[in-house]
Structure 1
Amino acid sequence: MSLRRCIAWLLAGLLLLAAGATRAHQPSDSLLELRVQGPRIELAWDIALKDLDAELDLDADEDGLLRWREVQARWADIEALAAASLRLGAPGGEACSGLRGLKPQLIEHGAGPHVALRAVLDCGQPPERLQIAYSLFAGSDPNHRGLLRLVLEGQDHALAAVLHPREPARDFALAAGRGPGFLEFLVQGIWHIAIGFDHILFLVALLLVCVLRWDGRAWQPAAEPRAAVAEVLRVVTAFTVAHSITLSLAATGVLALPSRWVEAGIAASVLLAALNNVRPLVQGPRRWMLVAVFGLVHGFGFANVLQDLGLREGELVLPLLGFNLGVELGQLLGVALLLPLAWWARGQVFYRRGVVGGGSLLIAALAAYWFVERAFALE
């Protein structure tokens, strides 16, 4: 088998692998706010009800509808899971106590109803350093994250961090008033691209045909690498500038759209980008202009992580810069991996018909499923 045919098969395999993740861009996040007040810590912890149902099987009658009485009946189990998944205290010292006997309540966020745990924890004495051990859903969901907002006593700003259930305990120097910022969220931007399969498939659909040209009837291999590189630059630049605008506006609260319609819009953009590969209707300058419009929608999706942290405008500067740069680095890594393979395989009929044609139809079918699921709030 020739090298180009091997590469074409590899590209097809990557498409199938990415398409296999049907729960795209639906990250499992909990929102954790801690307010340090001397020896006490005010805790506000919101955990998505759908994630707790998946972990604890709260739907007792198995009718597909989760009712409040079913949540109340399992409140002790919810408390026990939360208490076992979070440890706060000074490094090497006793854990802060008080995460028991809480009032059952729900709160609504953009991603749906969340169980709202509200407590005042007793740490015995004011800690100089706070150690946070977070292990919620460690055994069942490797992609889960805890979005932390830490408000220090006597400070008018908050620290922001992202907790992963499988990482070691994290230490925060409370007196210094400094915590993870730019680098923390740069990594999160890269990670968000890596697990956001709808964003990945959108870029894949756009990049697959950058090494080809449409002759009016079929795709043909591009003759000059310069043309392919120029097309990639136009597409990536249009997408980057557009999503950076709405990411900034949404994260700072200037613009807000319902999460449900943002996610449905992202799915629609993937669908249209894939169908345009099968029967090109938008080519040339109109293509990157359309990409820019879709990029505006994706920016609202990227902003969800920063919005959920509840940071005020002055606290968002470094996280926003770091997260946006991480998204760009994640995109560039994807381009660097995909483009050379696509260029070497572009002359193969299997690439033009199987990878581009068949792969685009597969992406379109998956995006149509996502659109229906999200637009009509189906589970």
Structure 2
Amino acid sequence: MIRLFLPLLLLLLATAAQAHQASEAYLRYHVDGADVEQRLDIALRDLDRDLALDADGDGTLSWGEVRGRWADIERLAADGVRFTADGAACRRLGDDGPQLDEHSDGMHAVLVSHWRCPTTVQALDIDYRLFAVTDAGHRGLVRLAGAGGEPRVLVPGAGPQRLAAHGPGWGSFVVEGMTHIASGLDHLLFLATLILVAVWRRDGQAWVPRADARSALAETLKLVTAFTVAHSVTLGLAASGAIDPPSRWVESLIALTVLLAALDNLRPFMPGPRWGMVAVFGLVHGVGFAGPLKDLGLQGRELMLPLLGFNVGVELGQLAAVALLLPLALALRGRAAYRRWIVPGGSSAIAALATLWLAERSLALQLLP
């Protein structure tokens, strides 16, 4: 059991430097009769990876470097995103000038093009291939604005996908929520720190194994429920725009929650029941979850189903992590190796990584590759 547990923990730590680096582009169509406006926002870090925009190699993209390669960016976008209207090709009328916009995951190049279709548009068929070869984890988030259509997630290379005024989209946001929790490894490591000692109980300033599995399961249920309720509240508020704290500070606070939870594993110091701490920290994580939905600019009723689907996906991802780690922790909770090596070693490694994240995010440093 120990040989099974350690590789799982090491796998999380080995890939943790990629937390919150999911690649997402934002695609919006505005339909007015037979006229279509397409707006595509592509992350500069993705463009730099494929087009080597950083000409002087200083690690920072200037406006001059981006503008000087705008023709190459337009060609990449044209090859990566194509559409037809009700099965018919549309005629390109022109493009707006180069521009940038900041999303929750960084600065994006904005490409706006104008099209005229043969007849009044009822539905668009999107053939999305952006970064299909260079980034298997990339996703496009698309919506049909001005027609009440639901947004959906586009998988590169999956073939044409229909975007209608009232087409399905809820299920794709369940998948997106699961993908988001899987790629946000700071969230996963936060859960892992909780599970490591959920099978123990606090005894003063130390941890002792719980006598039976039932009490450990009850404690885990309290922790997961507190985290879920708390982050669901702030996820909804942030996605709707009711709260909009700077993403840099949100990500810094998320790193701080991971650090404090890991330190509490080593020597419990947080006051009150642990589910109270988890609830407070969950409020911060919920704002971090909201990035993809917030950047779509959804409001009111059009936000409800995507928000529900995304949140369900996040919960399913969390439950999968708990189902993977909890049985192992239960089986090992009384072993000497669990007390001497697994919990101290795993918690110390997570604390060290969270410290690096906190320094990177709060001070805008580059410490991890």
1:53 to 48, 54, 57: 48
Partner Cα separation in structure 2 for residue 20 and residue 257 of structure 1: 30
Match of 2:31 in 1: 36
Aligned residue for 2:92, secondary structure, equals: coil
Aligned residue for 1:206, secondary structure, equals: helix
Give, as a single letter, the amino acid of the residue that structure 1 aligns with 2:35.
Answer: R
Matched, 1:167 2:154: no
Q: How does 1:226-305 map to 2 (within 5 A)?
A: 226-282=214-270, 285-305=272-292
Give, as a single letter, the amino acid of the residue that structure 2 aligns with 1:297.
Answer: V
Q: How does 1:62-77 map to 2 (within 5 A)?
A: 62-77=57-72
Q: Is contact 2:95–2:113 with CA below 8 Å preserved after alignment? A: no
Q: Is contact 1:28–1:145 with CA below 8 Å preserved after alignment? A: yes
Match of 2:22 in 1: 27
Structure 1 window deviating more from structure 2 (247-256 vs 120-129): it is 120-129
The answer for unaligned runs of 5 or more in structure 2 is none
1:12 to 6, 10, 20: 6
Partner Cα separation in structure 2 for residue 185 and residue 304 of structure 1: 13
Measured after TM superposition, the shift of residue 180 of structure 1 is 2.7
Give, as a single letter, the amino acid of the residue that structure 2 aligns with 1:377.
Answer: A
The answer for unaligned runs of 5 or more in structure 1 is 1-6
Partner Cα separation in structure 2 for residue 375 and residue 292 of structure 1: 23
Matched, 1:142 2:149: no
Aligned residue for 1:267, secondary structure, equals: helix
Partner Cα separation in structure 2 for residue 151 and residue 48 of structure 1: 21
Q: How does 1:319-334 map to 2 (within 5 A)?
A: 319-334=306-321
Deviation string 1:316-344 (CA, Å, 9 cap, x unpaired) is: 11111121122122212221221111111
Structure 1 window deviating more from structure 2 (97-106 vs 241-250): it is 97-106
Count the aligned residue pairs: 365
Match of 2:209 in 1: 221
Partner Cα separation in structure 1 for residue 104 and residue 181 of structure 2: 20
Q: Is contact 1:149–1:310 with CA below 8 Å preserved after alignment? A: no
Structure 1 window deviating more from structure 2 (203-212 vs 179-188): it is 179-188
Q: How does 1:299-314 map to 2 (within 5 A)?
A: 299-314=286-301
Structure 1 residues 218 and 353: alpha-carbon distance in aligned structure 2, compared to 1, 3 A threshold: farther
RMSD: 2.0
Partner Cα separation in structure 1 for residue 115 and residue 131 of structure 2: 22
Partner Cα separation in structure 1 for residue 338 and residue 310 of structure 2: 34
Q: Is contact 1:221–1:347 with CA below 8 Å preserved after alignment? A: yes
TM-score w.r.t. the length of structure 1 is 0.90
Q: Is contact 2:88–2:118 with CA below 8 Å preserved after alignment? A: no
- Matched residues, percent identical? 54
Partner Cα separation in structure 1 for residue 232 and residue 46 of structure 2: 30
Partner Cα separation in structure 1 for residue 203 and residue 339 of structure 2: 13
Which protein has greater RCO, CA pairs closer than 8 Å, 6+ apart?
1
